[in-house]
Structure 1
Protein backbone atom coordinates (compact mmCIF):
# COMPACT_ATOMS: atom_id res chain seq x y z
CA UNK A 1 0.00 0.00 0.00
CA UNK A 2 1.31 3.46 -0.86
CA UNK A 3 1.22 6.04 1.88
CA UNK A 4 -1.90 8.21 1.60
CA UNK A 5 -1.05 11.85 1.02
CA UNK A 6 -3.22 13.57 3.60
CA UNK A 7 -3.47 17.34 3.73
CA UNK A 8 -2.28 18.82 7.00
CA UNK A 9 -5.19 19.38 9.37
CA UNK A 10 -5.90 22.71 10.98
CA UNK A 11 -5.41 22.80 14.74
CA UNK A 12 -9.15 23.21 15.22
CA UNK A 13 -9.85 20.08 13.15
CA UNK A 14 -7.35 17.64 14.59
CA UNK A 15 -8.59 14.49 16.31
CA UNK A 16 -7.34 12.69 19.38
CA UNK A 17 -6.90 9.07 18.24
CA UNK A 18 -6.43 6.74 21.22
CA UNK A 19 -5.28 3.23 20.32
CA UNK A 20 -4.99 0.18 22.54
CA UNK A 21 -2.14 -2.12 21.49
CA UNK A 22 -2.64 -5.85 22.13
CA UNK A 23 -5.64 -7.15 20.23
CA UNK A 24 -6.22 -3.78 18.54
CA UNK A 25 -2.99 -2.67 16.86
CA UNK A 26 -1.01 -5.84 17.55
CA UNK A 27 -2.26 -9.23 16.39
CA UNK A 28 -1.08 -12.62 17.62
CA UNK A 29 -1.06 -11.17 21.14
CA UNK A 30 -3.17 -12.45 23.98
CA UNK A 31 -4.32 -9.22 25.58
CA UNK A 32 -2.37 -6.98 27.90
CA UNK A 33 -0.62 -8.93 30.55
CA UNK A 34 -0.89 -12.35 28.95
CA UNK A 35 2.78 -12.85 28.26
CA UNK A 36 3.45 -12.14 24.60
CA UNK A 37 6.94 -10.91 23.88
CA UNK A 38 7.22 -7.12 24.41
CA UNK A 39 8.39 -6.63 20.85
CA UNK A 40 6.19 -9.44 19.49
CA UNK A 41 2.85 -9.32 17.82
CA UNK A 42 2.28 -8.32 14.23
CA UNK A 43 1.33 -4.86 12.99
CA UNK A 44 -0.47 -5.09 9.67
CA UNK A 45 1.56 -3.04 7.16
CA UNK A 46 -1.52 -1.22 5.80
CA UNK A 47 -2.60 -0.35 9.33
CA UNK A 48 0.86 1.00 10.11
CA UNK A 49 0.74 3.18 7.00
CA UNK A 50 -2.68 4.55 7.95
CA UNK A 51 -1.62 5.35 11.53
CA UNK A 52 1.50 7.13 10.28
CA UNK A 53 -0.50 9.12 7.73
CA UNK A 54 -2.91 10.36 10.38
CA UNK A 55 -0.06 11.24 12.71
CA UNK A 56 1.88 13.09 10.00
CA UNK A 57 -1.25 15.01 8.99
CA UNK A 58 -1.37 16.50 12.48
CA UNK A 59 -3.84 14.33 14.36
CA UNK A 60 -2.85 13.42 17.93
CA UNK A 61 -2.29 9.67 17.83
CA UNK A 62 -1.94 8.39 21.41
CA UNK A 63 -1.01 4.82 22.23
CA UNK A 64 -3.05 3.88 25.32
CA UNK A 65 -2.08 0.53 26.79
CA UNK A 66 -1.87 -1.59 29.89
CA UNK A 67 1.73 -2.41 29.05
CA UNK A 68 4.62 -1.04 31.06
CA UNK A 69 6.69 1.81 29.66
CA UNK A 70 9.49 -0.62 28.76
CA UNK A 71 7.10 -2.76 26.73
CA UNK A 72 5.24 0.17 25.15
CA UNK A 73 7.96 2.33 23.62
CA UNK A 74 9.31 -0.44 21.34
CA UNK A 75 5.85 -0.70 19.77
CA UNK A 76 5.66 3.08 19.31
CA UNK A 77 9.02 2.85 17.55
CA UNK A 78 7.77 0.00 15.37
CA UNK A 79 4.81 2.15 14.34
CA UNK A 80 7.38 4.74 13.17
CA UNK A 81 5.54 7.63 14.75
CA UNK A 82 6.68 10.24 17.25
CA UNK A 83 3.55 11.07 19.25
CA UNK A 84 3.66 13.87 21.77
CA UNK A 85 1.92 11.69 24.39
CA UNK A 86 1.95 7.99 25.30
CA UNK A 87 -0.19 6.39 28.02
CA UNK A 88 1.02 3.20 29.72
CA UNK A 89 0.12 1.06 32.75
CA UNK A 90 -3.62 1.54 32.14
CA UNK A 91 -3.38 5.30 32.67
CA UNK A 92 -1.07 5.34 35.70
CA UNK A 93 1.90 6.58 33.62
CA UNK A 94 1.65 9.34 31.03
CA UNK A 95 4.74 10.02 28.95
CA UNK A 96 5.57 13.23 27.11
CA UNK A 97 7.98 13.45 24.23
CA UNK A 98 11.36 14.84 25.25
CA UNK A 99 14.32 14.55 22.90
CA UNK A 100 16.75 14.63 25.83
CA UNK A 101 15.10 11.81 27.78
CA UNK A 102 15.90 8.09 27.41
CA UNK A 103 14.11 6.78 24.33
CA UNK A 104 12.88 10.36 23.81
CA UNK A 105 10.11 10.23 26.46
CA UNK A 106 9.91 11.43 30.04
CA UNK A 107 7.40 10.51 32.74
CA UNK A 108 5.14 13.56 32.73
CA UNK A 109 2.46 12.24 35.11
CA UNK A 110 2.67 9.19 37.36
CA UNK A 111 -0.18 8.09 39.62
CA UNK A 112 0.81 5.89 42.55
CA UNK A 113 -0.62 4.32 45.69
CA UNK A 114 0.23 2.05 48.62
CA UNK A 115 -1.05 -1.39 47.54
CA UNK A 116 -0.81 -3.02 50.98
CA UNK A 117 -4.53 -3.28 51.80
CA UNK A 118 -5.46 -4.61 48.36
CA UNK A 119 -2.66 -7.17 48.39
CA UNK A 120 -3.56 -8.47 51.83
CA UNK A 121 -7.24 -8.83 50.85
CA UNK A 122 -6.47 -10.63 47.63
CA UNK A 123 -4.03 -13.01 49.29
CA UNK A 124 -6.74 -14.25 51.68
CA UNK A 125 -8.96 -15.25 48.73
CA UNK A 126 -6.39 -16.34 46.17
CA UNK A 127 -3.82 -18.17 48.24
CA UNK A 128 -1.93 -19.64 45.28
CA UNK A 129 -1.81 -16.41 43.28
CA UNK A 130 1.38 -14.79 42.06
CA UNK A 131 1.84 -11.11 42.86
CA UNK A 132 3.83 -8.29 41.32
CA UNK A 133 4.12 -4.55 41.78
CA UNK A 134 5.18 -2.03 39.17
CA UNK A 135 6.85 0.79 41.08
CA UNK A 136 6.25 4.45 40.41
CA UNK A 137 9.88 4.80 39.25
CA UNK A 138 9.49 1.98 36.71
CA UNK A 139 10.99 -0.91 38.69
CA UNK A 140 9.18 -4.21 39.10
CA UNK A 141 8.95 -6.54 42.10
CA UNK A 142 7.42 -10.01 41.93
CA UNK A 143 6.89 -13.00 44.21
CA UNK A 144 6.99 -15.78 41.59
CA UNK A 145 7.63 -15.96 37.87
CA UNK A 146 4.71 -14.65 35.83
CA UNK A 147 4.35 -13.94 32.10
CA UNK A 148 6.31 -10.72 31.74
CA UNK A 149 6.14 -9.82 28.07
CA UNK A 150 4.22 -6.59 28.66
CA UNK A 151 5.99 -5.69 31.90
CA UNK A 152 9.16 -3.75 32.80
CA UNK A 153 12.63 -5.10 32.11
CA UNK A 154 14.01 -4.08 35.54
CA UNK A 155 12.72 -6.92 37.73
CA UNK A 156 13.54 -8.32 41.15
CA UNK A 157 12.06 -11.31 42.94
CA UNK A 158 11.14 -10.58 46.58
CA UNK A 159 9.10 -12.09 49.43
CA UNK A 160 5.43 -11.05 49.51
CA UNK A 161 6.07 -8.76 52.49
CA UNK A 162 8.40 -6.56 50.43
CA UNK A 163 5.48 -5.62 48.17
CA UNK A 164 3.80 -3.88 51.09
CA UNK A 165 4.29 -0.20 51.86
CA UNK A 166 5.83 0.72 48.49
CA UNK A 167 4.58 3.35 46.05
CA UNK A 168 3.10 1.45 43.13
CA UNK A 169 1.67 2.58 39.83
CA UNK A 170 0.24 -0.87 39.19
CA UNK A 171 -0.31 -4.22 40.87
CA UNK A 172 -0.52 -7.46 38.90
CA UNK A 173 -2.14 -10.61 40.25
CA UNK A 174 -1.98 -13.85 38.27
CA UNK A 175 -3.79 -16.98 39.42
CA UNK A 176 -3.21 -19.80 36.93
CA UNK A 177 -4.87 -22.33 39.28
CA UNK A 178 -8.26 -20.63 38.82
CA UNK A 179 -10.59 -20.72 35.85
CA UNK A 180 -11.61 -17.25 34.73
CA UNK A 181 -15.15 -17.62 36.16
CA UNK A 182 -13.77 -18.61 39.57
CA UNK A 183 -11.27 -15.78 39.41
CA UNK A 184 -13.94 -13.20 38.57
CA UNK A 185 -16.09 -14.42 41.44
CA UNK A 186 -13.20 -14.19 43.90
CA UNK A 187 -12.29 -10.68 42.77
CA UNK A 188 -15.91 -9.51 43.01
CA UNK A 189 -16.12 -10.79 46.58
CA UNK A 190 -13.07 -8.86 47.75
CA UNK A 191 -14.76 -5.46 48.01
CA UNK A 192 -11.65 -3.63 46.87
CA UNK A 193 -11.81 0.09 47.59
CA UNK A 194 -9.54 3.04 46.77
CA UNK A 195 -8.27 1.25 43.67
CA UNK A 196 -9.32 0.73 40.06
CA UNK A 197 -9.02 -2.71 38.59
CA UNK A 198 -9.57 -4.63 35.37
CA UNK A 199 -9.67 -8.39 34.85
CA UNK A 200 -8.28 -9.73 31.60
CA UNK A 201 -9.44 -12.65 29.51
CA UNK A 202 -7.16 -14.91 31.52
CA UNK A 203 -6.90 -15.08 35.32
CA UNK A 204 -4.95 -11.84 35.38
CA UNK A 205 -5.84 -8.78 37.46
CA UNK A 206 -4.45 -5.26 36.98
CA UNK A 207 -4.92 -2.86 39.89
CA UNK A 208 -4.31 0.89 39.60
CA UNK A 209 -4.70 3.87 41.94
CA UNK A 210 -8.30 4.82 42.67
CA UNK A 211 -9.95 6.53 39.70
CA UNK A 212 -6.98 5.95 37.40
CA UNK A 213 -7.85 4.42 34.02
CA UNK A 214 -6.93 4.97 30.41
CA UNK A 215 -9.89 7.33 30.27
CA UNK A 216 -8.73 9.50 33.16
CA UNK A 217 -5.29 9.93 31.62
CA UNK A 218 -6.71 10.63 28.15
CA UNK A 219 -9.06 13.28 29.50
CA UNK A 220 -6.13 15.15 31.07
CA UNK A 221 -4.27 15.07 27.75
CA UNK A 222 -7.39 16.04 25.78
CA UNK A 223 -7.86 19.11 27.96
CA UNK A 224 -4.22 20.11 27.56
CA UNK A 225 -4.53 19.78 23.79
CA UNK A 226 -7.89 21.59 23.76
CA UNK A 227 -9.47 19.00 21.48
CA UNK A 228 -13.26 18.89 21.53
CA UNK A 229 -14.84 15.65 22.78
CA UNK A 230 -16.61 15.27 19.43
CA UNK A 231 -13.21 14.79 17.79
CA UNK A 232 -12.16 11.82 19.93
CA UNK A 233 -11.62 8.39 18.37
CA UNK A 234 -10.74 5.42 20.59
CA UNK A 235 -10.36 1.74 19.81
CA UNK A 236 -9.80 -1.25 22.09
CA UNK A 237 -10.68 -4.86 22.79
CA UNK A 238 -10.12 -5.61 26.48
CA UNK A 239 -11.92 -5.05 29.75
CA UNK A 240 -9.26 -2.50 30.65
CA UNK A 241 -10.56 -0.51 27.64
CA UNK A 242 -14.12 -0.25 28.95
CA UNK A 243 -13.64 3.12 30.65
CA UNK A 244 -11.78 4.50 27.63
CA UNK A 245 -14.51 3.40 25.24
CA UNK A 246 -17.26 4.72 27.48
CA UNK A 247 -15.40 8.06 27.70
CA UNK A 248 -14.97 8.29 23.92
CA UNK A 249 -18.56 7.25 23.19
CA UNK A 250 -19.94 10.17 25.21
CA UNK A 251 -19.56 12.51 22.23
CA UNK A 252 -16.94 10.92 20.00
CA UNK A 253 -16.27 7.60 18.28
CA UNK A 254 -15.65 4.52 20.44
CA UNK A 255 -14.77 1.37 18.51
CA UNK A 256 -14.70 -2.11 20.01
CA UNK A 257 -12.84 -4.81 18.14
CA UNK A 258 -14.89 -7.68 16.75
CA UNK A 259 -13.29 -10.27 19.04
CA UNK A 260 -13.94 -8.22 22.20
CA UNK A 261 -16.09 -9.67 24.98
CA UNK A 262 -19.77 -8.60 24.99
CA UNK A 263 -19.31 -6.30 28.01
CA UNK A 264 -16.61 -4.42 26.09
CA UNK A 265 -18.67 -4.16 22.92
CA UNK A 266 -21.69 -2.96 24.92
CA UNK A 267 -20.04 0.35 25.93
CA UNK A 268 -18.71 1.21 22.46
CA UNK A 269 -20.54 3.36 19.94
CA UNK A 270 -19.79 0.77 17.26
CA UNK A 271 -18.14 -2.61 16.73
CA UNK A 272 -15.67 -3.23 13.93
CA UNK A 273 -14.23 -6.46 12.55
CA UNK A 274 -11.81 -8.59 14.54
CA UNK A 275 -8.07 -8.07 14.72
CA UNK A 276 -7.63 -10.99 12.30
CA UNK A 277 -9.82 -9.10 9.80
CA UNK A 278 -7.89 -5.85 10.30
CA UNK A 279 -10.83 -4.27 12.09
CA UNK A 280 -8.94 -1.20 13.30
CA UNK A 281 -7.96 -0.24 9.75
CA UNK A 282 -11.59 -0.64 8.66
CA UNK A 283 -12.76 1.60 11.50
CA UNK A 284 -10.12 4.26 10.79
CA UNK A 285 -11.06 4.38 7.10
CA UNK A 286 -14.72 4.81 8.06
CA UNK A 287 -13.89 7.70 10.38
CA UNK A 288 -11.25 9.23 8.09
CA UNK A 289 -12.35 8.59 4.48
CA UNK A 290 -9.31 10.47 3.20
CA UNK A 291 -7.27 7.36 4.04
CA UNK A 292 -8.83 5.76 0.96
Structure 2
Protein backbone atom coordinates (compact mmCIF):
# COMPACT_ATOMS: atom_id res chain seq x y z
CA UNK A 1 0.00 0.00 0.00
CA UNK A 2 1.22 3.51 -0.82
CA UNK A 3 2.39 5.75 1.99
CA UNK A 4 2.08 9.56 1.93
CA UNK A 5 5.21 11.53 1.14
CA UNK A 6 7.30 12.47 4.21
CA UNK A 7 5.87 15.48 5.98
CA UNK A 8 2.53 15.34 4.16
CA UNK A 9 -0.37 16.64 6.24
CA UNK A 10 -3.90 16.87 4.81
CA UNK A 11 -5.57 20.25 4.55
CA UNK A 12 -8.99 18.63 4.32
CA UNK A 13 -10.26 15.34 5.77
CA UNK A 14 -13.31 13.81 4.05
CA UNK A 15 -15.16 11.32 6.22
CA UNK A 16 -17.86 8.82 5.36
CA UNK A 17 -20.34 8.35 8.21
CA UNK A 18 -21.88 4.88 8.45
CA UNK A 19 -19.21 2.25 8.99
CA UNK A 20 -16.49 4.89 9.23
CA UNK A 21 -17.51 7.22 12.06
CA UNK A 22 -20.45 5.19 13.35
CA UNK A 23 -20.41 1.52 14.31
CA UNK A 24 -22.70 -0.97 12.61
CA UNK A 25 -25.40 -2.74 14.61
CA UNK A 26 -24.57 -6.35 13.77
CA UNK A 27 -26.98 -7.96 11.34
CA UNK A 28 -29.25 -4.92 10.99
CA UNK A 29 -27.70 -2.83 8.22
CA UNK A 30 -27.99 0.18 10.55
CA UNK A 31 -25.48 2.14 12.60
CA UNK A 32 -25.54 3.46 16.15
CA UNK A 33 -25.94 7.23 16.24
CA UNK A 34 -22.98 7.55 18.61
CA UNK A 35 -19.50 8.95 17.99
CA UNK A 36 -16.74 7.33 20.04
CA UNK A 37 -14.54 9.58 22.20
CA UNK A 38 -11.49 8.61 20.13
CA UNK A 39 -13.13 9.73 16.88
CA UNK A 40 -14.49 12.92 18.45
CA UNK A 41 -11.05 13.82 19.84
CA UNK A 42 -9.31 13.11 16.53
CA UNK A 43 -11.77 15.34 14.67
CA UNK A 44 -11.20 18.08 17.25
CA UNK A 45 -7.41 17.92 16.67
CA UNK A 46 -7.90 18.21 12.90
CA UNK A 47 -10.01 21.33 13.35
CA UNK A 48 -7.69 22.83 15.97
CA UNK A 49 -4.80 22.46 13.51
CA UNK A 50 -6.70 24.62 10.99
CA UNK A 51 -7.66 21.83 8.57
CA UNK A 52 -11.19 21.21 7.28
CA UNK A 53 -13.46 18.30 8.12
CA UNK A 54 -16.08 17.48 5.46
CA UNK A 55 -18.68 14.77 5.98
CA UNK A 56 -19.36 12.86 2.76
CA UNK A 57 -22.20 10.35 2.86
CA UNK A 58 -24.98 8.70 0.96
CA UNK A 59 -27.32 10.08 3.61
CA UNK A 60 -29.69 12.90 2.81
CA UNK A 61 -28.93 16.33 4.32
CA UNK A 62 -31.34 15.99 7.24
CA UNK A 63 -29.68 12.67 8.15
CA UNK A 64 -26.24 14.31 8.41
CA UNK A 65 -26.76 17.43 10.52
CA UNK A 66 -27.08 15.44 13.75
CA UNK A 67 -23.71 13.81 13.05
CA UNK A 68 -22.14 17.22 12.44
CA UNK A 69 -23.54 18.27 15.82
CA UNK A 70 -22.23 15.13 17.57
CA UNK A 71 -18.77 15.91 16.20
CA UNK A 72 -19.00 19.60 17.19
CA UNK A 73 -17.92 20.56 13.68
CA UNK A 74 -17.00 24.13 12.91
CA UNK A 75 -15.80 25.96 9.84
CA UNK A 76 -12.37 27.39 9.06
CA UNK A 77 -11.41 30.55 7.15
CA UNK A 78 -11.51 30.07 3.38
CA UNK A 79 -8.77 31.91 1.49
CA UNK A 80 -8.60 34.46 4.28
CA UNK A 81 -12.01 36.01 3.59
CA UNK A 82 -14.48 34.28 5.87
CA UNK A 83 -18.10 35.27 6.18
CA UNK A 84 -18.06 36.31 9.81
CA UNK A 85 -16.47 39.39 11.42
CA UNK A 86 -14.21 37.27 13.61
CA UNK A 87 -12.39 35.93 10.57
CA UNK A 88 -13.83 32.43 10.82
CA UNK A 89 -16.88 31.07 9.04
CA UNK A 90 -18.55 28.79 11.58
CA UNK A 91 -20.57 26.99 8.91
CA UNK A 92 -19.18 23.66 7.69
CA UNK A 93 -19.34 22.07 4.27
CA UNK A 94 -21.21 18.78 3.89
CA UNK A 95 -21.48 16.43 0.89
CA UNK A 96 -24.78 14.52 0.98
CA UNK A 97 -26.71 12.09 -1.21
CA UNK A 98 -23.50 10.56 -2.60
CA UNK A 99 -22.42 13.94 -3.99
CA UNK A 100 -25.72 15.04 -5.51
CA UNK A 101 -26.24 17.65 -2.77
CA UNK A 102 -23.62 19.95 -1.24
CA UNK A 103 -24.68 22.20 1.63
CA UNK A 104 -23.41 24.50 4.36
CA UNK A 105 -24.43 24.06 8.00
CA UNK A 106 -25.76 25.52 10.26
CA UNK A 107 -28.36 26.32 9.11
CA UNK A 108 -28.78 24.04 6.08
CA UNK A 109 -28.01 26.08 2.96
CA UNK A 110 -27.93 23.99 -0.22
CA UNK A 111 -25.29 25.36 -2.59
CA UNK A 112 -25.35 22.58 -5.18
CA UNK A 113 -27.96 20.01 -6.19
CA UNK A 114 -27.65 17.68 -9.17
CA UNK A 115 -30.89 16.13 -10.44
CA UNK A 116 -31.90 13.65 -13.15
CA UNK A 117 -34.82 11.70 -14.59
CA UNK A 118 -34.66 8.32 -12.87
CA UNK A 119 -37.88 6.82 -14.22
CA UNK A 120 -36.34 4.60 -16.91
CA UNK A 121 -33.61 3.24 -14.63
CA UNK A 122 -36.07 2.47 -11.84
CA UNK A 123 -38.42 0.74 -14.29
CA UNK A 124 -35.56 -1.50 -15.42
CA UNK A 125 -34.68 -2.48 -11.86
CA UNK A 126 -38.33 -3.13 -10.96
CA UNK A 127 -38.71 -5.36 -14.01
CA UNK A 128 -36.32 -7.77 -12.27
CA UNK A 129 -37.37 -6.95 -8.68
CA UNK A 130 -41.07 -6.06 -8.96
CA UNK A 131 -41.65 -6.08 -5.20
CA UNK A 132 -38.77 -3.73 -4.40
CA UNK A 133 -39.24 -0.57 -2.35
CA UNK A 134 -38.40 2.79 -3.92
CA UNK A 135 -37.66 6.05 -2.13
CA UNK A 136 -36.75 9.58 -3.16
CA UNK A 137 -35.60 12.33 -0.82
CA UNK A 138 -38.15 14.80 0.50
CA UNK A 139 -35.68 17.45 1.59
CA UNK A 140 -35.99 18.62 5.18
CA UNK A 141 -38.68 16.05 5.95
CA UNK A 142 -37.60 12.54 5.03
CA UNK A 143 -38.51 10.39 2.04
CA UNK A 144 -41.38 9.73 -0.32
CA UNK A 145 -41.75 5.96 -0.80
CA UNK A 146 -43.84 3.57 -2.85
CA UNK A 147 -44.10 1.32 0.23
CA UNK A 148 -42.66 1.56 3.77
CA UNK A 149 -39.00 0.67 4.31
CA UNK A 150 -37.92 -1.39 7.36
CA UNK A 151 -37.76 0.64 10.57
CA UNK A 152 -34.56 2.62 11.00
CA UNK A 153 -33.33 2.37 7.41
CA UNK A 154 -34.43 5.85 6.36
CA UNK A 155 -34.00 9.04 8.35
CA UNK A 156 -36.94 11.37 8.87
CA UNK A 157 -40.57 10.76 7.93
CA UNK A 158 -41.81 8.40 5.22
CA UNK A 159 -44.67 9.56 3.02
CA UNK A 160 -46.21 6.78 0.93
CA UNK A 161 -47.18 7.72 -2.63
CA UNK A 162 -47.35 6.24 -6.12
CA UNK A 163 -44.33 5.50 -8.29
CA UNK A 164 -45.69 7.90 -10.88
CA UNK A 165 -45.63 10.73 -8.36
CA UNK A 166 -42.25 9.68 -6.96
CA UNK A 167 -40.58 9.81 -10.36
CA UNK A 168 -42.69 12.45 -12.03
CA UNK A 169 -40.00 15.10 -11.77
CA UNK A 170 -36.18 15.20 -11.66
CA UNK A 171 -34.64 13.93 -8.40
CA UNK A 172 -31.20 14.04 -6.85
CA UNK A 173 -31.17 10.44 -5.63
CA UNK A 174 -33.33 7.32 -5.76
CA UNK A 175 -33.07 4.34 -3.42
CA UNK A 176 -34.21 0.88 -4.50
CA UNK A 177 -34.37 -1.74 -1.74
CA UNK A 178 -35.33 -5.42 -1.88
CA UNK A 179 -35.15 -7.25 1.47
CA UNK A 180 -35.62 -10.56 -0.36
CA UNK A 181 -32.45 -10.09 -2.46
CA UNK A 182 -28.75 -9.79 -1.64
CA UNK A 183 -26.15 -7.16 -2.38
CA UNK A 184 -24.53 -9.56 -4.85
CA UNK A 185 -27.88 -9.85 -6.65
CA UNK A 186 -27.96 -6.08 -7.13
CA UNK A 187 -24.30 -5.91 -8.20
CA UNK A 188 -24.96 -8.52 -10.88
CA UNK A 189 -28.18 -6.81 -11.97
CA UNK A 190 -26.52 -3.41 -12.32
CA UNK A 191 -23.74 -4.95 -14.41
CA UNK A 192 -26.26 -6.64 -16.70
CA UNK A 193 -28.48 -3.59 -17.14
CA UNK A 194 -25.74 -1.03 -17.65
CA UNK A 195 -28.27 1.50 -16.30
CA UNK A 196 -27.73 3.94 -19.14
CA UNK A 197 -28.31 7.53 -18.15
CA UNK A 198 -27.56 7.07 -14.48
CA UNK A 199 -24.83 5.96 -12.11
CA UNK A 200 -25.45 3.45 -9.35
CA UNK A 201 -24.00 2.29 -6.06
CA UNK A 202 -24.83 -0.99 -4.34
CA UNK A 203 -24.59 -1.06 -0.57
CA UNK A 204 -23.98 -3.77 2.00
CA UNK A 205 -27.48 -5.17 1.59
CA UNK A 206 -29.74 -5.30 -1.48
CA UNK A 207 -29.82 -1.51 -1.57
CA UNK A 208 -29.13 0.49 -4.72
CA UNK A 209 -28.60 4.24 -4.93
CA UNK A 210 -29.23 5.76 -8.34
CA UNK A 211 -27.64 9.13 -9.08
CA UNK A 212 -27.02 11.50 -12.00
CA UNK A 213 -24.23 10.43 -14.34
CA UNK A 214 -20.84 11.60 -13.14
CA UNK A 215 -22.05 12.45 -9.65
CA UNK A 216 -20.26 10.88 -6.69
CA UNK A 217 -18.78 11.85 -3.38
CA UNK A 218 -15.66 12.80 -5.34
CA UNK A 219 -17.52 15.30 -7.54
CA UNK A 220 -19.18 16.84 -4.48
CA UNK A 221 -15.85 17.11 -2.68
CA UNK A 222 -14.26 18.68 -5.74
CA UNK A 223 -16.86 21.45 -5.54
CA UNK A 224 -16.02 22.00 -1.86
CA UNK A 225 -12.29 22.02 -2.54
CA UNK A 226 -12.67 24.66 -5.24
CA UNK A 227 -14.58 26.86 -2.79
CA UNK A 228 -11.91 26.39 -0.10
CA UNK A 229 -8.87 26.64 -2.35
CA UNK A 230 -7.75 23.09 -1.55
CA UNK A 231 -6.28 20.62 -4.07
CA UNK A 232 -7.36 16.98 -4.24
CA UNK A 233 -3.74 16.07 -3.49
CA UNK A 234 -4.18 17.69 -0.06
CA UNK A 235 -7.24 15.59 0.85
CA UNK A 236 -7.35 12.58 3.16
CA UNK A 237 -10.51 10.54 2.52
CA UNK A 238 -11.69 7.63 4.67
CA UNK A 239 -14.58 5.29 3.85
CA UNK A 240 -15.83 1.73 3.87
CA UNK A 241 -18.48 1.29 1.16
CA UNK A 242 -18.88 0.97 -2.58
CA UNK A 243 -20.14 4.55 -2.66
CA UNK A 244 -16.67 5.59 -1.45
CA UNK A 245 -14.75 4.15 -4.41
CA UNK A 246 -14.52 7.36 -6.47
CA UNK A 247 -13.72 9.43 -3.39
CA UNK A 248 -10.87 7.15 -2.31
CA UNK A 249 -9.35 7.14 -5.81
CA UNK A 250 -9.72 10.93 -6.18
CA UNK A 251 -8.18 12.00 -2.87
CA UNK A 252 -4.47 12.53 -2.33
CA UNK A 253 -4.71 9.72 0.19
CA UNK A 254 -7.67 7.35 0.23
CA UNK A 255 -7.97 4.99 3.19
CA UNK A 256 -10.34 2.02 3.52
CA UNK A 257 -11.79 0.95 6.83
CA UNK A 258 -10.65 -2.48 7.95
CA UNK A 259 -14.07 -4.12 7.47
CA UNK A 260 -14.61 -2.74 3.94
CA UNK A 261 -15.50 -4.99 1.02
CA UNK A 262 -12.57 -6.08 -1.22
CA UNK A 263 -13.14 -3.56 -4.03
CA UNK A 264 -12.90 -0.70 -1.52
CA UNK A 265 -9.52 -1.96 -0.30
CA UNK A 266 -8.37 -2.20 -3.91
CA UNK A 267 -9.38 1.40 -4.63
CA UNK A 268 -7.65 2.77 -1.53
CA UNK A 269 -4.02 3.72 -0.95
CA UNK A 270 -4.07 2.08 2.47
CA UNK A 271 -6.27 0.32 5.01
CA UNK A 272 -6.79 1.32 8.62
CA UNK A 273 -8.41 -0.61 11.47
CA UNK A 274 -12.12 -1.45 11.54
CA UNK A 275 -14.82 0.93 12.71
CA UNK A 276 -15.10 -1.06 15.95
CA UNK A 277 -11.40 -0.32 16.52
CA UNK A 278 -11.79 3.41 15.74
CA UNK A 279 -9.85 3.06 12.51
CA UNK A 280 -10.77 6.57 11.32
CA UNK A 281 -9.32 8.05 14.52
CA UNK A 282 -6.16 5.97 14.10
CA UNK A 283 -5.63 7.31 10.58
CA UNK A 284 -6.32 10.95 11.49
CA UNK A 285 -3.96 10.65 14.46
CA UNK A 286 -1.07 9.91 12.11
CA UNK A 287 -1.14 13.56 11.03
CA UNK A 288 -2.87 15.19 13.99
CA UNK A 289 -1.55 13.34 17.08
CA UNK A 290 -2.65 13.92 20.64
CA UNK A 291 -0.20 15.83 22.84
CA UNK A 292 0.92 12.64 24.63
CA UNK A 293 1.61 10.98 21.29
CA UNK A 294 3.70 13.94 20.13
CA UNK A 295 5.73 13.91 23.34
CA UNK A 296 6.60 10.22 22.98
CA UNK A 297 7.37 10.45 19.25
Under a length normalisation based on structure 2, what TM-score does the superposition of the two structures give?
A: 0.83
Call closer, same or farther: CA 1:189–1:42 in 2, change over 3 Å. same
Using the TM superposition, give the Cα deviation of residue 43 of structure 1 relative to its aligned residue in structure 2, in angstroms. 1.3
76, 79, 97: which one aligns with 2:71: 79
Residue 6 of structure 1: aligned partner: none
Runs of 4+ in 1 over 6 A off after TM superposition: none
Deviations along 1:184-205, one digit per CA (max 9) or x if unpaired, are: 2222222202212110010000
* Distance (Å, rounded) in 1 between the aligned partners of 2:139 and 2:61: 11
CA contact 2:190–2:200 (8 Å) conserved in 1: no
SS at match of 1:104: coil
183, 197, 207: which one aligns with 1:180: 183
* Distance (Å, rounded) in 2 between the aligned partners of 1:35 and 1:253: 27
CA RMSD, Structure 1 to Structure 2 (Å): 2.2
Using the TM superposition, give the Cα deviation of residue 94 of structure 1 relative to its aligned residue in structure 2, in angstroms. 0.5
SS at match of 2:64: helix
What is the total number of aligned residue pairs between the two structures? 268
Residue 207 of structure 1: aligned partner: 210
Residue 247 of structure 1: aligned partner: 250
Residue 161 of structure 1: aligned partner: 164
CA contact 1:112–1:136 (8 Å) conserved in 2: no
98, 107, 110: which one aligns with 1:107: 110
* Distance (Å, rounded) in 2 between the aligned partners of 1:30 and 1:108: 36
Q: Mind listing any 5+ residue stretches in structure 2 that lack a counterpart?
A: 1-8, 76-91
The alignment status of 1:23 with 2:7, answered yes or no, reads no
1:1-292 correspondence runs (5 A): 15-29=11-25, 34-36=29-31, 40-83=32-75, 84-97=92-105, 103-135=106-138, 140-147=143-150, 149=152, 151-248=154-251, 252-289=252-289, 292=293
Deviations along 1:130-155, one digit per CA (max 9) or x if unpaired, are: 11112567662101111464645243
Q: Mind listing any 5+ residue stretches in structure 1 that lack a counterpart?
A: 1-12, 98-102
Using the TM superposition, give the Cα deviation of residue 208 of structure 1 relative to its aligned residue in structure 2, in angstroms. 0.9
Using the TM superposition, give the Cα deviation of residue 47 of structure 1 relative to its aligned residue in structure 2, in angstroms. 1.4
CA contact 2:240–2:261 (8 Å) conserved in 1: yes
SS at match of 1:245: helix
SS at match of 1:234: strand
CA contact 2:10–2:236 (8 Å) conserved in 1: no
